[in-house]
Amino acid sequence: MAISATTPANTELGYGLNIITLTQDNNATDRHVLQIFNSSDEKIADLRQLPNSEGASHYDVGRILQSQIKMTPAPPSNTLFTGDNEIFDYYFKVGSINVAGTITIDETISGSLDKIPLLSVIPGRKELQSNGQTVWQDYDDYTPEVDVQYDGAVYYYVNPMPGYQKALTDRHYDTIRYGDITDGKPGASNNFDPDDDELIYRFRGSTGDYTNTLQFLNRWREGSNSFGNGITYVRMATYTDDTQVANVYINNTTVNGGGPDASVGADGIPTGSYGVIGVDFGSNTSNITDALTHAYVWTSYNSSSGYAANDDLRASRCYRIDFDDTECNDYDTINVRWLNSLGGIDYFAFRKKREKQINVKRNTYTTTNASWDTQTFRQYNYDRGETVFNQTVDETHTANTRYLSDAESTYLENLYRSPDVQVDLNNDGEWKPVVLTSNRYTERSFRKDKLFQHSITFRMANKPVAQGG
């Protein structure tokens, strides 16, 4: 009897159980076979297992998939950015092997949607659900579904759902009704037309922070007559109080750091590194200036296959960043970035007291600093007795936050759970990997906002170069 398999979601989170179950007739004695391939048809795993008494075999392929993914290795160099290893596309084959060693493949499992031919995994972590399984149950919130119709000349989207796509971020934001915003906000001139009750998601930022990002899955769930494969634009509207400073269409094209298409309106399938698109709204992007008070960011897509410039429909939530530089900075800032729970990148600036410690470990041997091969025995003060033949250096830093709100404190707890953390020590965009060695936060007894202060200690993942003896 043929082997059958469960099919995971088209995009899954990498950290946590990733179970593939194969089933067969209860009386079958052949071993089950699970083979995993990357998008280049290279086999990366070949697993065999006898079925259990119920005729099933279970495989946790989480570690196999995790080995293929990681955080974007460098900060964005363009307004948009992708990560070479942030998303991994794969498919698998299932079958059996008999006592003679003959393998029979019964089925090849890949993505079920016409525009997403492969299964994918991104480096987020999955929480344990009440049924004991770890499943990313909010997947639909990050990949909008759009209806497509044909009018005899062009395909066009109908019934789009603005605000449906969430960003891949753990940022804790509050919300405000669009109609309650009293300062500058996007409107019809920005191809932005919400009703007054729509919620705008806002969080705190700083024009002094070198880099901040929001990332989005660059794909839709769509019908067979679809023409768009993902994000067409990332939109940004910036303001100084009531005055709009910029209304920016950032084309999702390769020249802008996105892709996979070289021109807007093309129809390339966003696989591999193009499966996640990020936008930078830190001070290292030309769209942000010191004079800004706030900015809005959202994604959009083509409204029809008869593409025209700036012809787009909003797809994502609208995120508002309030720039607040009133905090007194007593010390040089340490910027920290980490892989968040959804497989994106989050940032925070540690602005208070910072310390640096150097710990040197030396291995030595002892020699006699004397002359044994001459007629006169001499000792030379300038020669070594105890000699260093190897030394290693650990560079450790401690960084502290300002006092934080409850939401900001909860947001930072994701930093402590991240497997991949990087720091920018000099606010110059040079990110270095680190290992967190301790972390703590304190709660003050008075009952008002800003109760928490976090302190982290980390060592550089790459040890400084040290001379040997």
- The model's pLDDT over 271-287, given as tens digits with 9 standing for 90+, comes to 888 989 999 887 777 77
Look at 296 and 155; give whichever has higher pLDDT.
Answer: 296
Question: What is the chain's mean pLDDT, rounded?
Answer: 82
DSSP string, 184-253: ----GGGT----TTPEEEEEEE-TTSS--EEEEE---EE-TT----S-SEEEEEEEETTEEEEEEEEE-S
Cα–Cα distances in Å, from 187 out to 63, 244, 248, 318, 386?
Answer: 46, 11, 13, 12, 75
> What phi-psi label fits residue 152: left (phi over 0), alpha (psi between -120 and 50 degrees) or beta?
left
Assess whether pLDDT exceeds 50 at residue 349.
yes
Contact indicator for 86, 273 with CB cutoff of 8 Å: yes
Say if residue 112 is exposed, middle or buried (CB neighbours under 10 Å; 0-12, 13-18, 19+): exposed
Query: Percent of the chain beyond pLDDT 90?
Result: 26
Assess whether pLDDT exceeds 90 at residue 182.
yes
Name 244's bridge partners.
239
Which tens digit of pLDDT belongs to each residue from 70-128? 877 777 777 899 887 888 999 999 999 988 889 999 999 887 554 456 788 899 888 76
CATH fold of the domain at 4-78+87-126:
Immunoglobulin-like (2.60.40)
Cα–Cα distances in Å, from 95 out to 2, 18, 92, 194?
Answer: 7, 19, 10, 51
Report the predicted TM-score, pTM, of the whole model to 2 decimal places: 0.86
Assess whether pLDDT exceeds 90 at residue 364.
no
| C-alpha span between 9 and 333 (Å, rounded) | 41
Q: How many CB atoms lie within 10 A of CB 248?
A: 19
pLDDT at residue number 185: 96
Residues 6+ apart with CB under 8 A from 100: none
Assess whether pLDDT exceeds 50 at residue 447.
yes
Assess whether pLDDT exceeds 70 at residue 371.
yes
Q: How confident is the model at residue 328 (pLDDT cuts 50, 70, 90)?
A: low
pLDDT at residue number 330: 66
C-alpha torsion sign, points 120, 121, 122, 124:
positive
Assess whether pLDDT exceeds 90 at residue 318.
yes
Which tens digit of pLDDT belongs to each residue from 375-420? 777 777 666 677 787 888 888 888 888 777 777 888 888 898 888 8
| C-alpha span between 158 and 147 (Å, rounded) | 5
Domain ranges of the chain: 4-78+87-126, 140-323, 352-469
Assess whether pLDDT exceeds 70 at residue 135.
no
Q: How confident is the model at residue 35 (pLDDT cuts 50, 70, 90)?
A: very high
pLDDT at residue number 224: 46
Which tens digit of pLDDT belongs to each residue from 206-249? 776 777 889 999 877 655 455 667 888 899 999 999 999 999 88
Assess whether pLDDT exceeds 60 at residue 68.
yes
pLDDT at residue number 163: 65
Assess whether pLDDT exceeds 90 at residue 366.
no
Return the half-sphere exposure (C-beta side, CA atoms, 13 A cut-off) of residue 104. Answer: 12
